[in-house]
């Protein structure tokens, strides 16, 4: 008990020390709006839709002296399509005095907590700079080893672009080998996610395992003398860690690198370590270095999947004995794939709200094929200086095209994906407890485990029933925060009706990112009618609540005053709040994000003067009204 308490205290101290907000040089304690900022790029620029993006380390001018602050920023440099991309890369310094903006969430219900995600990665502010709002310093701050990694990454990306002509296949190649996703098409990512093989293009332990197997094979002819064993171990570990750092050192790949380090060191001393000890020790090292990795989805899935494989893969594989070794291998792969899903299901449902129904078939095809592609890509890199590289590039493109085609075909199969799953964290934890207790009962036939499984399952059913009752009796109005678009959901029970821009009816990025999380959270499905709600012009009743939508310039009739519970202003109407008050008396004014920043600021000032309640979704997040 004393040791457990000690470890809890150590963990709390490490979390406190890693939280930059406690540091005396934290950016919010040093930076003022008028400060001159010197930002040092920590990575090459990444091209986005209308800008170039990069993380930057910050120095702030205080009393005519530059001082480093704790907490990095995200820089967005305006993209000018008529001009070439700015010649900026890792280590360049940019000087500007434009105010930094705090990183905030969009505020839509059920949306991704981007603000917390950035804070866990040491990012707290962002700045969007036009070409005339910054200057490039002649000085550079470069770490030689990081520069080498960026140069190596650039070589890989350039080589694949040169010898794999198709942009789609080249993007998959970069993601599969080094985790470079900037050229990866969103539709491809969605297809891989929907079919349960997204781990192929998200660098994981599988990739490092394939690299390790290749290195062992290459060094095997050197023999097994004591000196060679140590040299081989040093070379293998050096290459594994360089690959880990090259791919971005995500928690999942670092976990694998640490475990392979233990494995290689154990082999040099002819000792075999327990996989459970390796898992626990690697997790401890990662969390000591960065305790916020515990909230990283990749960290959670990586450890839980490997634990699930270690516990369940062998028992599942032994359920069916297949004497033929060529048929046994696919069955063992299916057993591993199925085993990984057992403990990861609650986490996948909690974070992603979907489950790929065809994961067994797609993994049986994609895992061996992606392994072959990875080795082919490595061959392309090593052969890039001889004429055979052209044919190697065509082979890689063909193999990747085959894999993409198969995955996209399975994605179109009816009922290939179960969507709209929603577990809150308590439900996910309860389901996880049931799986563990039930598995313990299966393995050990423990009466205590059976009772725990029954109680946890009963609690899970009760929680789900309570949520179902809440969902079926809900009545909500949601005004979403979608940049430059109008979007409103009227929710009644498990149905919703949509009012807004037609582009948001498409199943594209805007809907999936901004609107879909809310509909999953509230467990709703779309209906074509407006839920039998009386509507006249731009006014409608929600129960006894009167809602008025102003999305065009209206001629106010001051002879009749309307009492409105909520007035929604959309699409930049020419409107003065003082004039509106002559005919509409609102309890709440909601201004959506389809309005210009200038007009929103005007209405906010006017509302403050008139003592009106005003909610701007652009700055305050989505507006949710229970009616």
State the alpha helices, DSSP H only, in 473-585. Answer: 509-510, 516-521, 577-580
CB count in 10 Å sphere of residue 233: 17
DSSP string, 306-328: HHHHHHHHHHHHTTS----HHHH
Determine whether 333 is exposed, middle or buried from the number of CB atoms within 10 Å of its CB (0-12, 13-18, 19+). middle
Q: What CA–CA distance (Å, rounded) separates 374 from 161? A: 16
Mean pLDDT to the nearest integer, 223-230: 81
Would you say residue 277 has pLDDT above 90?
no
The residues that bridge with 475 in the sheet, in sequence order, are: 492
For strand 545-550 and strand 539-542, is the pairing parallel, antiparallel, or unpaired? antiparallel
Would you say residue 534 has pLDDT above 90?
no
Q: What CA–CA distance (Å, rounded) separates 336 from 333? A: 5
Determine contact, residues 301/252, Cβ cutoff 8 Å. Answer: yes
Determine contact, residues 371/210, Cβ cutoff 8 Å. Answer: yes
Determine whether 194 is exposed, middle or buried from the number of CB atoms within 10 Å of its CB (0-12, 13-18, 19+). buried
- pLDDT tens, 327-337? 888 899 999 99
Displacement of CA 210 from its chain's centroid (Å): 25
Task: State residue 458's pLDDT score.
Answer: 97
Task: State residue 85's pLDDT score.
Answer: 61
- pLDDT tens, 254-269? 988 998 888 888 878 7
Q: What CA–CA distance (Å, rounded) separates 210 from 536? A: 64
When the pLDDT of each residue in the chain is averaged and rounded to a whole number, the result is: 89
- pLDDT tens, 91-136? 999 999 888 989 988 899 999 999 999 999 889 999 999 888 899 9
Residue 146 φ then ψ, to 5°: -65, -40
Q: Which long-range contacts (CB under 8 A, 24 or more apart) does 272-280 make?
A: 275/306, 275/310, 276/307, 276/310, 279/255, 279/303, 279/306, 279/307, 279/310
Confidence of residue 474 (pLDDT cuts 50, 70, 90): very high
Q: What CA–CA distance (Å, rounded) separates 448 from 437? A: 9
Q: What CA–CA distance (Å, rounded) separates 609 from 69? A: 38
DSSP summary character for residue 126: E
The residues that bridge with 51 in the sheet, in sequence order, are: 78
Q: What CA–CA distance (Å, rounded) separates 372 from 370? A: 5
Strand locations in 345-469 (E): 354-356, 417-419
The residues that bridge with 591 in the sheet, in sequence order, are: 569, 616
Model-wide pTM > 0.75:
yes
Report percent pLDDT > 70 for the chain: 96
- pLDDT tens, 566-578? 999 999 998 899 8
Instruction: Write the CA distances from 131 to 125, 539, 598, integer angstroms.
Output: 19, 45, 22
Residue 602 tokens read as: 């005007």
Residue 99 φ then ψ, to 5°: -65, 135
Three-state SS annotation for 593-613:
CCCCHHHHHHHHHHHHHHCCC
Task: State residue 453's pLDDT score.
Answer: 95
Confidence of residue 536 (pLDDT cuts 50, 70, 90): low
Residue 61 φ then ψ, to 5°: -80, 115
Q: What CA–CA distance (Å, rounded) separates 522 from 543? A: 19
């Amino acid at each position: 008990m004393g040791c457990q308490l000690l470890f809890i205290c150590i963990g709390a101290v490490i979390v406190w020390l890693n939280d930059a907000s406690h540091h005396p040089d934290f950016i919010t304690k040093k930076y003022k709006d008028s400060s001159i900022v010197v930002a040092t790029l920590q990575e090459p620029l990444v091209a986005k839709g209308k800008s170039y993006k990069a993380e930057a380390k910050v120095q702030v001018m205080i009393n005519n002296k530059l001082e480093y602050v704790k907490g990095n920023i995200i820089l967005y440099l305006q993209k000018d399509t008529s001009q070439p991309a700015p010649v900026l890369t890792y280590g360049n310094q940019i000087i500007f005095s434009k105010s930094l903006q705090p990183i905030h969430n969009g505020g839509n219900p059920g949306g991704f907590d981007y603000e917390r995600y950035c804070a866990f990665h040491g990012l707290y502010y962002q700045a969007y700079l036009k070409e005339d709002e910054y200057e490039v310093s002649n000085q550079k701050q470069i770490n030689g080893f990081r520069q080498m990694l960026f140069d190596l990454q650039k070589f890989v990306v350039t080589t694949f672009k040169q010898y794999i002509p198709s942009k789609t296949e080249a993007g998959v190649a970069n993601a599969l080998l080094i985790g470079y996703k900037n050229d990866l098409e969103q539709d491809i990512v969605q297809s891989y996610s929907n079919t349960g093989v997204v781990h192929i293009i998200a660098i994981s332990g599988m990739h490092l395992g394939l690299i390790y197997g290749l290195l062992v094979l290459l060094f095997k002819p050197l023999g097994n003398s004591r000196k060679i064993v140590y040299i081989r171990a040093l070379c293998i570990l050096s290459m594994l860690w360089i690959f880990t750092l090259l791919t971005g050192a995500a928690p999942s790949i670092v976990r694998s690198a640490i475990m392979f380090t233990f494995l290689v060191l154990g082999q040099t001393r002819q000792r075999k370590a327990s996989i459970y000890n390796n898992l626990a020790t690697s997790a401890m090292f990662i969390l000591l270095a960065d305790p916020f990795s515990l909230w990283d989805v990749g960290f959670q899935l990586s450890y839980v999947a490997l634990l699930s494989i270690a516990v369940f893969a062998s028992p599942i594989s032994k359920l069916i004995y297949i004497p033929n070794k060529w048929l046994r291998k696919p069955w063992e792969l299916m057993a591993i794939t199925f085993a990984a899903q057992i403990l990861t299901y609650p986490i996948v449902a909690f974070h992603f709200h979907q489950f790929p129904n065809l994961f067994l078939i797609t993994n049986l095809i994609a895992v061996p094929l992606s392994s072959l592609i990875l080795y082919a890509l490595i061959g392309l890199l090593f052969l890039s200086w001889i004429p055979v590289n052209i044919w190697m590039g065509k082979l890689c493109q063909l193999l990747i095209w085959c894999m993409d085609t198969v995955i996209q075909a399975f994605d179109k199969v009816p009922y290939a994906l179960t969507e709209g799953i929603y577990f809150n964290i308590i439900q996910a934890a309860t389901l996880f407890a049931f799986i563990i207790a039930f598995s313990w009962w299966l393995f050990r036939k423990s009466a205590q485990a059976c009772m725990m499984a029954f109680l946890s399952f009963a609690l899970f059913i009760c929680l789900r029933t309570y949520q179902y009752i809440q969902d079926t009796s809900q009545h909500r109005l949601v005004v979403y925060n979608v940049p430059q678009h109008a979007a409103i959901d009227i929710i009644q029970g498990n149905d919703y009706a949509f009012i807004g821009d037609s582009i948001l009816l498409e199943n594209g990025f805007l809907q999936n990112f901004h609107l879909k999380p809310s509909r999953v959270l509230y467990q709703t499905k779309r209906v074509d009618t407006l839920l039998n709600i009386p509507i006249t012009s731009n006014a409608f009743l929600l129960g006894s609540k009167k809602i008025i939508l102003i999305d065009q310039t209206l001629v106010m009739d001051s002879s009749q005053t309307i009492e409105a519970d909520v007035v929604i202003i959309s699409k930049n109407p020419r409107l003065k709040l003082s004039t509106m008050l002559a005919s509409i008396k609102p309890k709440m004014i909601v201004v959506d994000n389809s309005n210009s920043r200038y007009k929103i600021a005007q209405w906010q000032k006017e509302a403050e003067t008139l003592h009106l309640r005003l909610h701007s979704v652009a700055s305050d997040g989505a507006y949710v009204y229970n009616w």
